[in-house]
Amino acid sequence: MADKQVELKTNELLLKLTSIPGPSGYEDGVLSEIEQIMEPYIDECFRTPMGSLVCVKKGSGPKVGFFAHADQIAFVVTKIYEDGFLRFSGVGGWDPKTIISQKVWVHTKKGKLRGVIGFMPPHLQTTEESKKVPDYDRIFVDVMMNQNWKDISIGDLVTLDVEGFEKNGTIFAPALDNRASCVAIIKAAELLSKIKTDAQVYYIFSTQEEIGGPGAKSGAYISEIEYGVVIDVTHGDEDVPGYPKIKMGEGPAVAIGPVTNKKFVEHINTVAGKYNIKTQIEPIAGRSGTDTDEVQLTRIGVKTALVSIPLKYMHNPYEKVFVKDVEDTAKLLAFCAAHLPEVGIEEPSRDSALAKISGNKSRGEKIEK
């Protein structure tokens, strides 16, 4: 670990990381920034073949991984017209009607170019057309203001040009899904640098979650962790029929369901109570739609929990989080790791399970002979 540590301001981190483009599969810019920020709090770091950044705080105790995906939803150029207009499609889960008239950047091999997302004006739409919800076949990117727009190629990435801002402890910015969780992990690492713990902690900033999550799985595999906490965002202040409302400003939501380990979740809730950290309960009936689904299945299995930061306007040009929720999430993670030897899970450990598998294999070989 580097000796020089500067206290990190959560709001500044959120605005910095959300200002760096990092679409799925192209996260290197934001991961390089995170690696530099994490340097004072870790013993080593490396990249996986899938591009995920793994930072390690060494210890002699249990191994735990904190996961946050660093990628964001974006667009890709699919067709170029001779008059300076582009067709494009979403990388990840966009709703096209939320992006009309937004400024964008088109990322070419020679640099980025300005564009504006256009749509047919109401005066020219037929009655039938005016009733349709806009889709990618009816919107386009106007790039003709650039003299060098012909530098654009099919397959170039497109990101929204949206600048984040803070007001009274609230952050509005693009890509808070999931840079807010990246910041929570960074702040947790800062706290853990001041707390005594025997746990070996892996801070894993993963790639490509928005298109299926292979980055987290490879990070979990190479780290050989026994415990994993996936940090993502969840819908804040939204009324979802049949489910409790997750409130903004009331702390992170701890998931309960088949993809999480019951004892490990109990440990996290116990830690929250001990340190007066507000949490909420988020019931999940099946798959979570987060990296949790992949991490829990890594190698012979990982005891996994899901902690989510309340966020409003998910997958919109501007998303919204409360700084306090991010900081409370960081505290929860740090104290979870600090008290990890107390978790007391009586289920078979990874080492004992591997020993049994090895023993069964040996007996099988003897029988075959």
In a 3-state reduction of DSSP, which class is residue 232?
strand
Tokens, residue 351 = 């080492």
> Active-site residue 209, yes or no?
yes
Tell me: is residue 156 an annotated ligand-binding position: no
State the Cα torsion 289-294-297-301 to the nearest 10°.
Answer: -100
User: What span, in angstroms and rounded, lies between the C-alpha atoms of 89 and 313?
Assistant: 20
Tell me: is residue 232 an annotated ligand-binding position: yes
Q: Which is the catalytic residue, given 33, 190, 209, 250?
A: 209
Instruction: Locate the DSSP E strands across 110-248.
Output: 111-119, 139-142, 157-160, 165-167, 170-173, 200-206, 227-235
Tell me: is residue 142 an annotated ligand-binding position: no
Burial class of 228 by CB neighbour count within 10 A (0 to 12, 13 to 18, 19+): buried
Q: Please name the amino acid found at residue 228.
A: G
User: What span, in angstroms and rounded, lies between the C-alpha atoms of 77 and 143?
Assistant: 12
Question: Under a CB-based contact definition with an 8 Å cutoff, are residues 229 and 67 in contact?
Answer: yes
User: What span, in angstroms and rounded, lies between the C-alpha atoms of 169 and 155?
Assistant: 38
Instruction: Locate the DSSP E strands across 92-156.
Output: 103-108, 111-119, 139-142
Q: Which residues are annotated as a binding site for Zn(2+)?
A: 69, 177, 210, 232, 315
Catalytic residues: 209
Q: Which residues are annotated as a binding site?
A: 69, 177, 210, 232, 315
